[in-house]
Structure 1
Amino acid sequence: MLDRRDLLKFATAGGAAFLIPLEGSAPYAAPRLTAGTGALTDVAVPEDTFTTPSPARAFAAPDELGDLAKAAPFAHAMPVLGAMKPAASHSGRSPRSGRTVMTDVYSMRQHKARVEIVKGLKSTVFTYAGCFPGPMIKANRGHEVVLEHHNELDNPTCTHLHGGRVPSKYDGLPMDVVGKGGHYTYRYPNKQRAASLWYHDHSHGTEAENVYMGLYGVYLISDEEERRLPLPKGQYDLPLVIRDARIEADGKLSFARPIDCPHMLVNGKERPYFKVAARKYRLRLYNVSINRNIKLRFADGAEFVQIATDCGLLEGPVVRDEIELVGAERAEIIVDFSRYRVGSSIVLENTAALKERPEIMRFDIVREAKDRSRIPDRLAEFPSLPKPSREREFIMTSDPTFLINGKSYDPKRVDVETTLGSHELWRIKNIDSPGHHKPGYFIHHSFHTHLAQFRVIHRNESPVGPGEAGWKDTVSVPPGESVCIAVSWSGYAGEYVYHCHHLGHSSAGQMGRVDVKPR
């Protein structure tokens, strides 16, 4: 039997994470775990390991910042995120369904590490298993993932699987934090369609700082429906984890306002390059910035094809030449690099850049390659939306502080009570004027629901475009605008939250509690 003592042995062995060198990319390696066998008991965390979250930390004021590191774009090869190897895998019979369930077991230490973000400088970051970003986990639909986290940081932490449909006790609720020396085991059933999810810290009051410092990683769920599609696979299927940062001349990663964060990172490196073949690639785009929007386009204005939103494939492909992502939002696109000659390069830009350079990364076309992939006209089947049982309204404000419906987050107060299996319409309004400014923050909001996935029905009473019409867990709510979403509560009863995913906002209280009751 694999018990807590075995898992602790695995944890002290080091993180089983690595970044694969591919197409001229930069390698990074961490020690591998030794696999074990047997069944896993459901581990409860002792009460005394839970810690009250700290008050939200403010961004550094401009006069507190040091000299900025001067970085030349495209000095780094972009690392390719490699999949973490399970410490153990086993099968067992589900007590509910009687079916055989496969389980992969992982263990991660949360600790500080020194990494090179800007060429020639070492920066101290927070890591999962010693990696920045955290190691990628690949899961299969219906196969359980068990993930034990060990906190070796001074900050309290908890881990949320963003976009995951998981029981409440494994959701990473904001107050279920673990202090230094503590540990907690999460179980993810993965009973949902293929999607590009991610995991990150969610400790209330410290989540913005913890994520900014590095506590985030990619979590991919695949299924048979997705695998049957002739989309680019293997080395031609790449997550691009994008965020802003501020690196000082001495290498320090400073917790600063977006306007003071001119360094744009992809997979942990500042404005990298990546060598590609002249063929189609599937790019999974992540905006993990804690408080900024990005708008991505190629410098030559070339078109690409969007195939997915946050929670999985669209019904059909959508041709675009620019895509906007708010904090925590994801999209998947197909880019055909065969339109460029071998030996040429093309830059991916952020047209929503603040004071910084617009470049995000550069693709270098270095070789020819066979390409049997294609983009089908039909990607997924979407059922009709059920008739909603009720409507709710959420007013988001930013002045004098960040509130939803005039209230700041109180974990003891139930803001929404609903029933498992219910369908609702939520109208979310950002009533701040477009010209309103709050120092250090974007006044855009990034509305995120835990447990529930939703469909965006309209913006400002107008139907949304096809690129936003898929299943989502995060939606942009710009100043002066309103969004209507169809929310379906399925999976598990229990306590969950909804909040702005510009994490400076949620750290300051822009969050509410929702209790999902059994039928």
Structure 2
Amino acid sequence: MKHKCDKSSDDVTSKKDIYRMDRRTFVKLAGATAGALAFGGSFMKYIPSAAAEIPGGSLDPLTIPKYMTQLVIPPAMPTSENPRGFGGDYYEIAVKQFTQQILPTGMPVTPVWGYGSVNHPGTFNYPAFTIEAHFMRQVRVKWINGLVDDNGDFLPHLLPVDPTLHWANPPGGTEGRDMRPMFESTPGPYMGPVPMVTHLHGGHSAQESDGYAEAWYLPAANNIPDGFATEGTWYNFFKNEFQKKFDVRNRFDIAWEPGTATFQYENDQRASTLWYHDHTLGMTRLNVYAGPAGFYLIRYGPDDLPGRLPGQAPGVGADPFGRFYEIPIAIQDRSFNDDGSLFYPDTRAFFDEFVGPYIPESDVSPIWNPEFFGNTMVVNGRTWPFLEVEPRRYRFRFLNGCNSRFLILKMVTDPLATRPATAALPFWQIGTEGGFLPAPVMLDQLLMAPAERADVIVDFTDLAVGTELYLINEGPDEPFGGGVPNTDFPAADPETTGQVIKFVVVPLESKDTSRDPAQLKLPTFKPLGAASNTRQVSLNEEVSTFPGFDGPIAAKLGTLDALGNPVPMEWEDPITENPAVNATEVWEIYNFTVDAHPIHIHEIMFQVVDRQQIGGVARSPESWETGFKDTVIAYPGEITRVRAKFDLSGRYVWHCHIVEHEDNEMMRPYIIGP
């Protein structure tokens, strides 16, 4: 799905025409270009033209001063008093609405949502404080939907909710929830109470604690409208499963009260960088964009390296502007209005100027946009911050928390340098989503799809005090299909989304005892065994059948038929992926669309086996993909193979993590076991 970058520029209209082709032409061309590009394969050739301004809210991003605000480093989330009989770490975490200074001081504050401890009111922040977990030490969280005002009445969404999608649909009641409603005329945005359910992304979680998209729940507000469903289709099933498993039916302090859900995480997986965020059916793009997300770090065990990596990390009660040498960094794109509020499109016309007719005359939803690209970069909840670094090694845990944007990150001396710029410092990548790689990998740049994480070491040791470096982004301001910046696609605008964060070298304050990454020996990597089954799945795009309009109206997952043709499927179609408990399978992901998609499979960590152009020759995974992952880039016209062991029985999902796609049918349930 291609994004129209400028509503008024003739050169952008020509780009749109360049990228458009039907699927048969796409597959034919894709097979002819195997191995042609640096990142995956791609059939399209970018024709350079004048840079186009990214549309957004009423606040011009060029009026936002850069590098005026110090990077906020989220402290660790404090625990709550343990319930009876539980010996692990217990949290009571709510999502609430508040205002935050995301833009520089002197500019308006922004209403956002964020997680925080209900026992520690000062912890509510965007992004959330980090949950620090220990290997094999259980974490139990009571997740509370706190989206109510001071009177206990529900708060409507900060952003425009499209009620014509297949979504949670609380107004449908128990009979119509989790369905696509039927309308006789085009509706406006949904303004009712907001459903939420939290997913630990990358967690080896039992089904009742995974944050299933149909296990959402409304806040326990005073004024829920009559007839509304207050929880999703699967909420009570998972509630009963949790209560039976942990025998808590009569323990009021950890029961699933209205407006809450209690999940338990066993942390029986490798030391790794996870994150938590909302996962409500048809609303994830909006709920996450509003703010609630945070890091979840698993430490210790046989697959960790305590004492050999840069540290320390911030603990409970830490100064968010203190000196730390292990820093989680969440990178997101956002747009703003002049009053400081978040901007997100309230009409499909923002994407491709289609002004209707909408539902029911056409098959085009009135509000949903196939992708969204903000025109500012936000790092740990601040626009274009700076970080003072000492001449020593740092460990950065990067998260691409963008809705649709792929990042290509690079350290440079000039933030406005011609793209592709020359790297001033390398990244030493030591881990991905599933923990450490087999060995450190030195890279000039980091390619990160939405939801991917990169655990890296950056060595500032030899830099003079006063040196300034910049983390820039050379990924596109539009969907990514593979390739080289400004050769195969236009790089992000160097004046806005092409800049991320500034580093300023200051005097050394403490001795660096970490190991040189070039000499660092990582924990022994144990690959998965041979697969007992190979499964073929497909990525697909559905276009409108309305006369005179052929724009995308949904993205879908599916299977393949006996002839190798894609069979697109929707969320409510019968389940087609059903691995046996403890089975190891290879999934072959066929991408029949014109864009790359980050594919995330819940419950498991997988290994990337290989990729190949459809009809071409397989090639090995990239050097930074040789560990365990939970999200993989599936390039257009390619087969991406992953191998995984499915060891927990239950109901889970797999989906594209371009959340605009996920929210409109590019997510499917799957079941492990009977």
Letter in 2 for 1:454: F
User: Of residues 367, 377, 380 in structure 2, which corresponds to 1:264?
Assistant: 377
Letter in 2 for 1:218: F
Corresponding position of 1:370? 511
1:296 aligns with 2:409: yes
Q: Give the Cα–Cα distance (whole angstroms) in 1 for the partners of residues 476 and 511 of structure 2.
A: 36
Cα distance in 1 for residues equivalent to 2:640 and 2:277: 26
1:137 is aligned to 131
Distance in 1 between the 2:202 and 2:338 partners? Answer: 37
The answer to whether structure 1 residue 358 and structure 2 residue 498 are counterparts is yes
Question: Is the 8 Å Cα contact of residues 402 and 408 (structure 1) preserved in structure 2?
Answer: no
Counterpart of 2:100 (choices 115, 131, 135) is 115
Q: Deviations over 1:464-494 (max 9, x none)?
A: 122111100000112222211111112x211
Q: Is the 1:116–1:269 Cα contact (8 Å) retained in structure 2?
A: yes
* Aligned position for 1:456: 608
Does the 8 Å contact 1:193/1:221 carry over to 2? Answer: yes
2:672 matches 1:477: no
Name the SS of the counterpart of 2:90 in structure 1. Answer: strand
Deviations 1:433-477 (A, max 9, x none): 3xxxxxxxxx32110000011000112110112211110000011
1:467 corresponds to which letter in structure 2? W
Question: Structure 1 residue 187: deviation in Å?
Answer: 0.8
Q: Which one-letter code corresponds to 1:387 in the other structure?
A: A
Give, as a single letter, the amino acid of the residue that structure 1 aligns with 2:271. A
Q: Deviations over 1:163-205 (max 9, x none)?
A: 0011101100000001122111111111111000000000011
Q: Is the deviation greater in 447-456 or in 257-266?
A: 257-266
Distance 1:200 1:371, change over 3 A: same
| Structure 1 partner of 2:615 | none
Counterpart of 1:104 in structure 2 is: 89
Q: SS at the partner of 2:336?
A: coil
User: CA offset at residue 281 of structure 1?
Assistant: 0.3
Residue 288 of structure 1 and its aligned partner are, at CA, apart by 0.8
Which residue of 2 is the match for residue 42 of structure 1?
none
After superposition, residues 123-272 of structure 1 pair within 5 angstroms as 123-129=110-116, 130-153=124-147, 154-181=193-220, 182-225=259-302, 226-228=304-306, 230-234=308-312, 235-256=324-345, 260-272=373-385
CA distance in 1, matches of 2:94, 2:306: 36
The residue number in structure 2 matching 1:19 is none
- Residues 223/411 of structure 1: CA separation in 2 closer, same or farther (3 Å cut): farther
SS at match of 1:278: coil
Tell me whether 499-508 or 66-75 shows the greater mean CA deviation.
66-75
Distance verdict in 2 for CA 1:176–1:63, change over 3 Å: same
* C-alpha distance in 2 between matches for 1:272 and 1:408: 43
Describe the superposition over 1:259-304 as per-residue Cα deviations: whole angstroms up to 9, x where unpaired. Answer: 6511101100001001111100000000011111001111140212
Q: Find the counterpart in structure 1 of residue 556 from structure 2.
A: 403
Q: Verify: 1:307 aligned to 2:455, yes or no.
A: no
Report the AA paired with residue 291 of structure 2: G
Alpha carbons 2:135, 2:298 under 8 Å: kept: yes
Show CA shifts across 1:115-166 (max 9, x none): 1111122111111122101121000011111111111223101000000011
**In structure 1, how many angstroms separate the alpha carbons of the residues matched to 2:126 and 2:382?**
9
Whole-angstrom distance in 1 between the partners of 2:55 and 2:534: 47
1:80 alignment counterpart: 73
- Counterpart of 1:445? 597
Provide the C-alpha distance between the structure 2 equivalents of 1:495 and 1:285, rounded to a whole number of angstroms.
Answer: 30
Using the alignment, how far apart are the partners of 2:637 and 2:68 within structure 1?
40
Kindly state the Cα deviation for residue 255 of structure 1 after the two structures are TM-superposed: 1.8
Say if 2:607 and 2:629, in contact at 8 Å, map to a contact too.
yes
Letter in 2 for 1:204: L
1:14-50 Cα offsets, whole Å, 9 max, x none, are xxxxxxxxxxxxxxxxxxxxxxxxxxxxxxxxxxxxx
In structure 2, distance between residues paired with 1:251 and 1:289: 19
What is the alpha-carbon distance in structure 2 between the residues aligned to residue 74 and residue 63 of structure 1? 23
Q: 2: distance between equivalents of 1:504 and 1:359?
A: 24
CA distance in structure 1 between the partners assigned to 2:56 and 2:435 by the alignment: 42
Change over 3 Å in CA distance of 1:384–1:210 after alignment to 2:
closer
The answer for the alignment partner of 1:333 in structure 2 is: 456
Letter in 2 for 1:139: A
Aligned residues of 2:386 and 2:502 also touching (Cα < 8 A): yes
C-alpha contact (below 8 Å) 1:133/1:215 kept by paired residues: yes
SS of the equivalent of 2:399 reads strand
- Counterpart pick for 2:625 among 445, 468, 489: 468
- State how far apart, in whole Å, the 2-side matches of 1:150 and 1:90 are: 16
The number of residues matched between the two structures is: 439
Return 473-482 or 406-415, whichever deviates more: 406-415
Partner secondary structure for residue 338 of structure 1: coil
Structure 1 spans left out of the alignment, 5+ residues: 1-61, 93-100, 434-442
Q: Relative to 1, partners in 2 of residues 1:64 and 1:269: Cα closer, same or farther, differing over 3 Å?
A: closer
Q: Secondary structure at the match of 1:334?
A: strand
Task: Return the offset for 1:377.
Answer: 3.7
Could you tell me whether the CA contact under 8 Å between 2:282 and 2:663 is conserved in 1?
yes
Distance of 1:390 and 1:464 partners within structure 2:
20
Query: Structure 1 residue 412: deviation in Å?
Result: 6.8
1:71-100 CA deviation, whole Å, 9 max, x = no partner? 1111110001100110124896xxxxxxxx
The Cα shift of 1:392 comes to 0.9
Question: What is the identity, as a one-letter code, of the residue corresponding to 2:556?
Answer: L
Contact conserved, 2:56 with 2:374, CA < 8 A, in 1?
no
Match of 1:425 in 2: 586
Deviates more, 1:230-239 or 1:250-259: 250-259
1:247 shift after superposition: 1.2
Counterpart amino acid of residue 628 in structure 2: W
**Structure 2: runs of 5 or more not aligned:** 1-53, 117-123, 148-192, 221-258, 313-323, 346-368, 414-422, 478-492, 544-553, 559-566, 613-617
CA contact (8 A) 2:57 2:344 kept: no
Assess, with a 3 A threshold, how the Cα gap between structure 1 residues 108 and 228 changes in structure 2: closer, same or farther: closer
Report which stretch shifted further, 329-338 or 218-227: 218-227
2: distance between equivalents of 1:145 and 1:171? 13
Normalising by structure 2, report the TM-score.
0.63
Provide Cα deviations, 1:220-277, integer angstroms capped at 9, x if missing partner: 0001341445111212111001110001121010124766511101100001001111
Separation in structure 2 between the aligned mates of residue 414 and residue 184 of structure 1, nearest angstrom: 26
Secondary structure in structure 2 of the residue aligned to 1:197? strand
SS of 1:317's equivalent in the other structure is strand
SS in 2 for 1:395: strand
Q: Provide the C-alpha distance between the structure 2 equivalents of 1:331 and 1:158, rounded to a whole number of angstroms.
A: 26
Q: 1:370 is aligned with what amino acid?
A: K
Relative to structure 1, is the Cα distance of residues 335 and 502 closer, same or farther in structure 2, using a 3 angstrom cutoff? same
- In 2, the alpha carbon distance for the partners of 1:191 and 1:495 equals 19
Residues 497 and 513, structure 1, Cα contact 8 Å, conserved in 2: yes
2-structure distance, mates of 1:135, 1:412: 38
Q: Is the 8 A contact 2:305 2:523 kept in 1?
A: no
CA RMSD after TM alignment: 1.9
How big is the shift at 1:393?
1.2
Alpha-carbon distance between aligned partners in 2 of 1:503 and 1:87, rounded to the nearest angstrom: 32
**2:533 counterpart (370, 390, 393):** 390
Secondary structure of the residue that 2:465 maps to in structure 1?
Answer: coil
1:503 Cα deviation after fit: 0.6
CA distance in structure 1 between the partners assigned to 2:456 and 2:306 by the alignment: 18
2:657 aligns with 501
Higher deviation after alignment, 243-252 or 145-154:
145-154
Distance 1:357 1:159, change over 3 A: closer
